[in-house]
Amino acid sequence: MKIGVLGTGVVGQTISSRLKELGHNVMIGTRDISKTHANRERSPMGTPPFSEWHKSHENVNLGTFAEAAKFGEVLFLCTNGAATLDALRLAQPENFKGKTVLDISNPLDFSKGMPPSLYPQWANTNSLGEEVQKTLAGAHVVKTLNIVNCEVMVNAKKTGGDPTMFMAGNDAKAKEEVRSILEQFGWSDILDLGDITGARGMEMILPIWVRIWGATKNGYFGFKIVK
Amino acid sequence: MKIGVLGTGVVGQTISSRLKELGHNVMIGTRDISKTHANRERSPMGTPPFSEWHKSHENVNLGTFAEAAKFGEVLFLCTNGAATLDALRLAQPENFKGKTVLDISNPLDFSKGMPPSLYPQWANTNSLGEEVQKTLAGAHVVKTLNIVNCEVMVNAKKTGGDPTMFMAGNDAKAKEEVRSILEQFGWSDILDLGDITGARGMEMILPIWVRIWGATKNGYFGFKIVK
């Protein structure tokens, strides 16, 4: 399947690598191709720049946000939450029309230091997922995967168990497509939370995710619904 | 142990019943004793009024908030989130001095209909748990149990598994006391999230709790950290 991945950071890299391993045809999109190629700095989290990752992943094409959006039959949003809506405008919403869009971005505000809070305009009575759906009115947005570390996103068993993954979106067929991708990523306990407003709760999990990470010094965990 | 429980609703009743079964000496506190005795209406959730519950629990004394706070060596806050801080003022903060206080209340705002959101002044960059600690400056507040249905609070195994319970508070000794109570309630996987600011993430779990309940039609679940 042709898949477009928006965002060249560690989340976009990890998702793209795994999709490629699974045999998909992947284009990764960025704001500025030459800047992305030229960047030699590690991220604030210490992960390598795109250029270094790309050396061992030359079969993943780099394009603009718009080229990647146009290329993909399915799209992954892996941009920084604060930049997501701006990236979608650059990617041109008409390029997403009728497509399934997995929104895995989080509205984390690091501007006040650690731990991050959520941007209030996208929390509690709203969510980034809902704003993404409004921006991409012709697409089928499904919020998912945002509640775990990116290595766990693409390999649920990395937690050492069988955690639950949630999804929320307005279109049943798109959620079936997402379920199939999640299964390819090793998720077997998948819970549909209903329409896209379910993104509120999924994004509001992030503060406890950060806190659990701090308490356990282990980012490779998931949430299992025990019932 | 002498334990005071603030709040006569279904959460206060369920906690009090279980503490009594475990052999503790319990006083339950209310705003207005005669009104609480006289109330014959079921709650909006359909649970029986206090007077009906009390018929089979006459060994639990009913007092004012202040009497219950004075009585308890340990206190449980089981009031409606919106009313919690007002209840503490009526209970007189000096009655909590040096005591361990389990805050299990949630800042849920039902005023805009279902599903509830969180009161913005107590969410994201603040929490009800932190406000409780500020109001009871001389006490050791521990946020815990707020992330599950009250029947699961007092019997973790009711989920059919072994879910994780979190706690957050500033005083290590108080958290050891809380751990012992949680163990009496059947919790064996207990994770200390650090100081009371950990209450933010614990309270922000509520929107997904409500959503999971809606999706599964089953309130008897817990969150297990799989790692």
Of B47 and B155, more confident: B155
Closest residue on chain B to A149 (Cα): B227
Q: Given a cut of 80, is residue B193 above it in pLDDT?
A: yes
Question: Which DSSP letter does residue B79 get?
Answer: S
Print burial letters for B47-77: b (CB count within 10 Å at least 16), e (below 16): bebbeebbeebeebbbbbbbbbbbbbebbbb
Q: What is the CATH number of the domain that holds A177?
A: 3.40.50.720
| Residue B90 falls inside a structural domain | yes
> A108: number of CA atoms within 13 Å, CB side?
19
Tokens 């509520």 -> residue: B206
Segment A55-59 shows an average pLDDT of 94
Contact A178, A140 (CB under 8 A): no
| Residue A136 falls inside a structural domain | yes
Interface predicted TM-score (ipTM): 0.96
Structure tokens at A15: 């998702």
- In this structure, the strands spanning B222-226 and A25-30 are unpaired
Q: Residue A189 pairs with which residues in a beta bridge?
A: A164
| Residue A81 falls inside a structural domain | yes
Of B125 and B112, more confident: B125
Spatial separation of the C-alpha atoms in residues B124 and A119, rounded to whole Å: 9
Question: Which DSSP letter does residue B186 get?
Answer: T
Confidence class for position B63, pLDDT limits 50, 70, 90: very high
| Residue A226 falls inside a structural domain | no
**pLDDT tens-place string over residues B27-43:** 999 999 999 999 999 88
**pLDDT tens-place string over residues A81-138:** 999 999 999 999 999 999 999 999 999 999 888 889 999 999 999 999 999 999 999 9
| Residue B147 falls inside a structural domain | yes
- In this structure, the strands spanning A140-144 and B140-144 are unpaired
Mean of the per-residue pLDDT values for chain B? 96
| Residue B227 falls inside a structural domain | no
Confidence class for position B146, pLDDT limits 50, 70, 90: very high
Interface of B with A (CB under 8 A): 112, 117-118, 120, 123-125, 159-163, 166, 168, 191-194, 198, 200-202, 204-205, 207-212, 214-216, 218, 220-227
Segment B100-116 shows an average pLDDT of 94
Q: Which of A119, A208, A209, A224 to mutate to test the interface with B (most CBs of B within 10 A)?
A: A208
Q: Is the pTM of this model over 0.95?
A: yes
| Residue B129 falls inside a structural domain | yes
Domain extent, residue A196, equals: 2-216
Q: For chain B, how many structural domains are there in total?
A: 1
| Residue B221 falls inside a structural domain | no
How crowded is residue A27: how many other Cβ atoms within 10 Å of its Cβ? 21
